[in-house]
Structure 1
């Protein structure tokens, strides 16, 4: 049975954790497919971005509270054509643990729990309302996290290093069983925020490739992690640049 992506479906996943984790080696039952983002050969618009000296957006560097994160999160109508909503089910995070310590930062983000541990976290979903009813309707998850001094920079640094170290893939174990990720690669990233980094992780579900795309943006002590998955086919999903740009503009 093909599962159509909706906010309810996305909320039940806490990222890609629907059918025993998106990297699960599940060979039984159904086709296990759902869509987390419109397929695109170009997930993000620009190069891996660190703004040039003098061009960085200013930031007050504050560690935001959960209420303050909620205030800067995107809302419906802020980006035309997208419905923004809180992500449901976020109290039940993933439990994937990488067998390779170098890949731990990637597994932590798949779990919905970026490391180092944030001071506050807010989840949102952004759904393209013009694609309502489509099997490959674009649904992007956002994780907004605020960090004590130095924590946001450490998060970006550790993810960059993990993407380099884990290019050949990695395996995890979790409460749901083992998972296999067959490859990790850096992607072009929109030139926003004080740091911007995007990458793809390729998982396996019911014997089929499942591309997961992540885009991290840091301004000051705040990081936004955008996530989309494609369970319909093996084409990388798109994280729309206008969502990334609009959210980055809200960060203090």
Structure 2
């Protein structure tokens, strides 16, 4: 399954639900989303110590967790560890245009706030530094369903990265039935939230889907968070053409995770 969006519109759309109000609209409930496909050798989230996520029954044993200095990276250092074109075959990596325009969504249910914070492009707790990138599958160039994934790399003071993953996990459970939010562009309704299988990566990994709407059509949004030390990478993919769950390619996740210090 692919991220359904056009190449020309990719930069504008990857954060459009947050930045321009082009996402869930009018409080219109579109019902539950379709079943998500499991990624190869994936589990519903892995973490080292103290977590509640468990591997799928048929998942292979978890690989040893990478070591980390735990150091809080600067913006320059985040840019250095971000994937670059040529480091992952068939993917072009570039800075995200318009990343300075963050969203203003506020959940009516405080328990869902961690979810809207990520939709806004501003994961909480507030990071010490942030870098945005987009990754495009060059083998699909020219296709309407070209795979396009946004990466948000954030570094956090001591304990902040762990808190981010923990709060998102709790919010996904608490907000499974959906939630409403408001922004400067008006009200929004998200009809469903659920955890998804995720490839093992970093010291902690978790994926989930939020279902919104665009001009009355379902828009499945997929987020995959990976933490190593004090650094978190949030991968984001959306399907603006059909209601099919988009994919964040496992190869992209593991390649980026491998560069985190």
Same fold (TM over 0.5): yes
Moved over 6 A (4+): none
Q: For residues 80 and 145 of structure 1, what CA distance do their matches in structure 2 show?
A: 24
8 Å contact 1:143–1:225 — kept in the other structure? yes
1:88-99 paired onto structure 2 within 5 Å: 88-99=97-108
Unmatched tracts of structure 2, length 5 or more = 29-35, 50-61
What TM-score, normalized by structure 1, do the two folds share? 0.89
2:33 paired with 1:24:
no
The root-mean-square deviation of aligned C-alpha atoms, in Å, is: 2.0
Residue of structure 2 equivalent to 1:10:
10
Q: For residues 206 and 108 of structure 2, what CA distance do their matches in structure 1 show?
A: 24
8 Å contact 2:20–2:103 — kept in the other structure? no
Alignment: residue pair count: 237
8 Å contact 1:183–1:201 — kept in the other structure? yes
Q: For residues 164 and 48 of structure 2, what CA distance do their matches in structure 1 show?
A: 18
Q: For residues 44 and 224 of structure 1, what CA distance do their matches in structure 2 show?
A: 20
1:126-167 alpha-carbon deviations (Å, 9 max, x no partner): 001111111111000000000000000000000000000000
Residue of structure 1 equivalent to 2:138:
129
The structure-2 alpha-carbon separation of the partners of 1:22 and 1:44, relative to structure 1 and needing over 3 Å to count, comes to farther
C-alpha displacement of 1:178: 0.9
The structure-2 alpha-carbon separation of the partners of 1:133 and 1:213, relative to structure 1 and needing over 3 Å to count, comes to same
What TM-score, normalized by structure 2, do the two folds share? 0.86
8 Å contact 1:14–1:94 — kept in the other structure? no
Residue of structure 2 equivalent to 1:173:
182
C-alpha displacement of 1:207: 1.4
2:233 paired with 1:224:
yes
1:50 to 34, 47, 54: 47
